Structure 1
């Protein structure tokens, strides 16, 4: 019995180190399984990005039609200022500037929110002492709160879910007037729609009530204060509406381009993973064939 135990010890010693280690084929199968799961995940992501690209393309066509229709409101503003011969007035002291940043609450659209945030920081840096910021949209709000928390006076959310209407611009303008924020000039910062593949941050100044009162053609007539006040509020609502619509079109364009690039990147990753999976699978099959041939030759 003792001789049998002594004879078995060397064989057990040889087997024990191999218990904790997985065979080479098992390690290859585990790697192939991981590649297969990752390949499946990337394919699902590609399906999502392609669907989002199609949706953004449809929304972009609607946004462009709405933008073309909204240009009538901007033409009305320009016509009033041209006939009134209104010009920018320089006050003796520092002017209080109000910046209205037009953004949205939605992401996955490239760097469209960063562009207006950077433009806002540049404009505020020119005169940081007498500047206040109103942000439309949570994305730019989150970016500006990190660097300009003291200048933000008012914020709006629920922006960008659907095509903006003039009622949206009128409500925002009304809330700005009722907030009691004092300002001498209003500067709208938004993304100007250049084409289906490009946009740029643009700054537009809206004339104030005092500028309209001091314009040559308005001073000719005796008018009540309500006339110029209502006209300036209407002009502000017009400008906000035009900026909202154009910013919405730029956002849809940027989202479509972002999803297109994401789909292309996913396709390239799928090709690379498929090649890696096929090479690993071929190596496993080759090793198994070698084992079979070696065993058959030994017999």
Structure 2
């Protein structure tokens, strides 16, 4: 009996070791499959981010051309009011127009403009808000939902046009409240990697009529309302075009960084996949050798 136990024990131990290795091997197979799936997923993400980077680069060139045109509109309109020495009243109802967009995946471009508007509202909480773009609306509605009197979406999906700005200006003019001061917040394009949230003033009809040098332009007072509405549309078009160029530039940079990070992850997971695959092959060889040795 003792001889039988002695002869059976090595075989039982070999079977136990083989079963343990088979469990480890099955776990390695599962891990290897998970790594392969993760690697495939990251490669697909890298393709998407590279494509989005190329699209943003293509749109950026058109956006910069539209931005240069809008600056001509905006600067010419501003020159009229500056030469007429129009001055905003110290008191009165104030409107803030926020230029944003509906799309994300472009870094912190929307959060920065929202932060600048929050800072102004903290100092002047009675200001009303007109928001162009869902991203800024969502962020500002968390704390200043009662200040929002009008919002727009679907504006500037492609390169902004003056007709879109004119639609926004018409809707603002149709509001029941008449504002004494209007200020437009937007992201100013500095360079391909830099932008800054700033504001520009849009003058009202009363400011134009009370300007000391308004008579120098030989404009009839009946046309003052049309002139201020046209200048408001100019300023909004300027803000939309600048913001759109900043958005495309920021999206290109964000997608470039995402593609680089995906490439780094692909490199790390490829090394991990190869090492895990080598470990699985080694375990299989050990199982084969152990089984052959137990049969001898």
TM-score by length of 1: 0.88
Q: Cα RMSD between the aligned structures?
A: 2.5
State how far apart, in whole Å, the 1-side matches of 2:155 and 2:204 are. Answer: 25
User: How many residue pairs were aligned?
Assistant: 283
Q: In the TM superposition, what are the counterparts of 1:91-130 in structure 2 within 5 Å?
A: 94-129=91-126
| 1:223 Cα deviation from its structure 2 partner | 6.2
Aligned to 1:88: 88
| 1:167 Cα deviation from its structure 2 partner | 0.9
State how far apart, in whole Å, the 2-side matches of 1:146 and 1:165 are. Answer: 30
State how far apart, in whole Å, the 2-side matches of 1:105 and 1:284 are. Answer: 49
8 Å CA contact retained: 1:103, 1:159: no
Aligned to 1:58: 58
Tell me: CA distance 1:285–1:68, structure 2 relative to 1, closer, same or farther (3 Å): same
| 1:180 Cα deviation from its structure 2 partner | 2.1
Tell me: CA distance 1:244–1:223, structure 2 relative to 1, closer, same or farther (3 Å): closer
Q: What is the CA deviation profile of residues 108-136 of structure 1, one whole-angstrom value per residue up to 9, with x for unaligned ones?
A: 1111111111111111111113x100000
| 1:222 Cα deviation from its structure 2 partner | 8.5
TM-score by length of 2: 0.89
* Match for residue 227 of structure 2 among 222, 225, 231: 231
| 1:211 Cα deviation from its structure 2 partner | 1.2
Q: Is 2:243 the partner of 1:247? A: yes
* Match for residue 195 of structure 1 among 170, 176, 191: 191
- Structure 1 gaps, min length 5: 1-10
What SS is found at the alignment partner of 2:201?
strand
What SS is found at the alignment partner of 2:145?
coil
Aligned to 1:7: none
State how far apart, in whole Å, the 1-side matches of 2:232 and 2:46 are. Answer: 43
Tell me: CA distance 1:20–1:104, structure 2 relative to 1, closer, same or farther (3 Å): same
8 Å CA contact retained: 1:106, 1:160: no
Q: Is 2:166 the partner of 1:170? A: yes
Q: What is the CA deviation profile of residues 221-248 of structure 1, one whole-angstrom value per residue up to 9, with x for unaligned ones?
A: 8865422111111110000000000000
State how far apart, in whole Å, the 2-side matches of 1:294 and 1:145 are. Answer: 68
Aligned to 1:289: 285
Q: Is 2:151 the partner of 1:155? A: yes
State how far apart, in whole Å, the 1-side matches of 2:116 and 2:208 are. Answer: 27
Tell me: CA distance 1:206–1:195, structure 2 relative to 1, closer, same or farther (3 Å): same
State how far apart, in whole Å, the 2-side matches of 1:189 and 1:210 are. Answer: 22
